[in-house]
Amino acid sequence: MAVVSQPTDPNCDVPQPGAVDAELGEFWVGNPWEIFETKNLSAFERNRLFMNVGGRAFLDVSYVSGADSDGDGRSAIAADFDNDGRLDLAVRQAGGGALLIYENQFSQRNYLTVDLMGTRSNRLGVGARLIARVGARQIVRERYPANTFNSAAPLAVHFGLGDAERVDELTILWPSGERQTLRDLDAGRHIEIVEGDAAIRVVTPGETRSPR
């Protein structure tokens, strides 16, 4: 256990309040800014990965997935790095550790990936809310770049659809206040939707595009 005193004062020198037990890993520094010069605060805890089970519980799959690294993991980004519709995982470690990429090898299921292009709203549609109706299910996503420690996820919005072959209805609440609804969207695609335009464009992985 570490107790930090005066964490925002780089000039402080706080006297040790009492004896510390070195066998328990306790230590004391008068200036908290010296910790990173003399100590490694990572206790090599193994990373944990939990799988959502139908929204009812979470199953610990850390060991069986191989994602239980004991590195000093500080950021985790979920993204479809190989464009197969399954979100993979990138974990960045502090202190120069390896960048870890975990390929999603769960059984292939259906999905829909959505990109937005604002016209009245901001160019990237940041802040939009997307509501997908898939049979009796409703899936809600918001278009924000997920930021963790020194990293950011792609803006593409991913919907996992299970066995469903289409999204019955997709409603987009744009930051401008416009409400846009599209129906009967086939699964297994990455599409782009332009604010106020009923047409959709299928995105091809690796394509090069000029800005509009």
Q: Which of 14, 43, 45, 19 is nearest to 31 (CA)?
A: 14
Residue pair 178/120 in contact (Cβ under 8 Å)? The answer is yes
Predicted confidence (pLDDT) per residue in 164-176, tens digit: 999 999 999 999 9
In angstroms, how far apart are the furthest CA atoms of the chain?
Answer: 70
**Rg for the chain (alpha carbons), in Å?**
23
Average model confidence (pLDDT) across the chain: 85
Predicted confidence (pLDDT) per residue in 62-84, tens digit: 998 888 888 778 788 899 999 99
> Which is more confident, 18 or 43?
18
Predicted confidence (pLDDT) per residue in 83-131, tens digit: 999 999 999 887 657 789 999 998 999 999 999 999 999 999 999 999 9
Residue with tokens 């206790």: 43
Give me the mean pLDDT over the 35-50 stretch.
72
Banded model confidence at residue 1, pLDDT cuts 50, 70, 90: very low
Token readout for 29 is 């520094």
